[in-house]
Amino acid sequence: LPFLRAFIADVSFSIPEDEVFLTEDDFRNAELLTSSPTKSSRLLPRQSFLHGDIRGKAAWKLVTFNQIAKLGFSPYSFQKTRRKGARRNGVITGIKKWPNGRVPYMISGQYTERERALLARSFQLLQEYHKRTCIRFVPRTPLDRDYLYIGKIDGCFSDVGRAGGRQELSLDDGCMQYDTAIHELMHSVGFYHEHERWDRDNHIRILWQNIDRDAYDQFGKVDLSESSYYGQVYDYYSIMHYDSLAFSKNGLETMVARRPEMTVVIGSAIDFSPVENYLFINLLKKALVLDCTDKTNLCWRWLDRCGSFFFERIMKEFCALSCGYCIPKSKMTAPVKAAKGASASYLQLG
């Protein structure tokens, strides 16, 4: 009993007074906003992400020294820049998934009534997928030591997945629009940037000469050991893709699509792409609810073996999620075809 009293006392003061949650009034006000996210519904224009919007394991974003040397910079000086960036990004702990897809949250009391309505609307957009997946954002209780805190901290940023403790997601004044809020919430549940895919060079070209030197690490690649494409091809329409002028030092493009018509598409999304919907509904649910995962991040290379008689046993063992072995065949859903080049962002679940 003394231990229980001490435990209750320990958690009873763990919610700061300046942290609140969205109320029924906020969700009612959200219904008064436009019913679907459009450019006209943005409160403020998109801000440029000066320091990038991902906190956490910046070391996973790899820019080779050869690429830097070609630009005439010293690899050693770039290494120092990366170390500085890693300190700024801060979080060192490994990325984890939220238990059972439950994401406890609190928000800052600094948000205005309209901003709270916009946050509520962003939650509602995600709630449509909560009905078909297990991801759900719920007000934090005193027992939740790991939780998402949304506040006006410094620009727009989030960790990827669950980082532990009070996990900050910043939506400052320049970030208060649907697409940015959804983008950061997507990070918080485990999505990386599309343009940081390991295979991105097959789909876009990075124009290093136009990139602000302090932002080189924003154009690295995420290690395949920490992410998976789940068999989806590159998604130019992804809400997780930066635009072609991101981090430009001279107003010129910093990345262009290898399909020229897609350059104007990247970074323009204001809602989930068709295949991001597929990921939410068909992959994320199985990974979290059924605890169905791939045991290797190379499954995207072996998808042609999923239906093979000779490889069926090994594919069921190592690539159950990507191959669709997690659900009864009667309920199996075929992967979404890439319409107009669309596909899926890649996701951290482990």
Catalytic positions, written as ranges: 184
Q: Which residues pair with 105 in a beta bridge?
A: 139, 148
DSSP state of 346: -
Closest CA to 218 of 228, 229, 208: 208
Integer-rounded Cα radius of gyration of the chain:
21
Give burial (CB, 10 Å; 0-12/13-18/19+) of 54. Answer: buried
Binding-site positions for Zn(2+): 183, 187, 193
Q: Which residues pair with 170 in a beta bridge?
A: 151, 157
Give burial (CB, 10 Å; 0-12/13-18/19+) of 180. Answer: buried
Binding-site positions: 183, 187, 193
Give the torsion sign (CA, 40, 41, 47, 53). negative
| 242 Cβ neighbours under 8 A, 6+ residues apart | 49, 193, 195, 218, 255, 266, 267
CB atoms near residue 308 (< 10 Å): 11
